[in-house]
Structure formats: C-alpha cells, structure tokens
Amino acid sequence: MNYQPFLEMNLLVSDELVSVFHQLLPSVILFLVATFYLLMFLHISLFSLWKFLGQPPKKRPYMIELSNE
C-alpha cells in the first residue's frame, strides 16, 4: 500500500482513500450547493411570511387622506 503526505501535514493517506475521496467529491459538492440553495429558499420564504403576517403599517397623520365634505 502506497502512502503519501496529505496537504503538507503529518498525516499519511492511502491511495485507496484518495481514490474513494475523488469518487465522492462531485456528490459532496452537489450536496453542499443544494443545501445552500435550500437554506436560501427557506430564508426567503420565512422572511416573506414574516412580512406578510406582521402588523399592518401604522397610519401616520400625514398619511391620512382628508376628505373635503
């Protein structure tokens, strides 16, 4: 079994482990990207719901329309 230094550290990693890591790398990257977009969608949805269900804006005196009746 051939061992090689890993990222200039004192860890020795086998070739089999490196090959398995390279096989799993696209899946891990896809999972991280999907997780990021899912959390962003959840954040935007909850923020929109919070704005929608929040208190209505207060009517300020300068915002009230005066009727000339």
CB 6 within 8 A of CB 13: yes
Q: How far is CA 21 from CA 13, 18, 53, in A?
A: 11, 5, 46
Q: Give pTM, 2 decimals.
A: 0.56
pLDDT of residue 53: 87
**Hey, is 10 helix, strand or coil?**
coil
**Quick one: what percent of the chain has pLDDT higher than 70?**
61
Domains of the chain by residue range? 3-63
pLDDT of residue 23: 94
User: How sure is the predictor about 15, in pLDDT bands with cuts at 50, 70 and 90?
Assistant: confident
Q: What is the mean pLDDT of residues 38-53?
A: 93
Residue 67 has pLDDT above 80, yes or no: no
Q: How many Cα atoms sit within 13 Å of 24 on the Cβ side?
A: 8
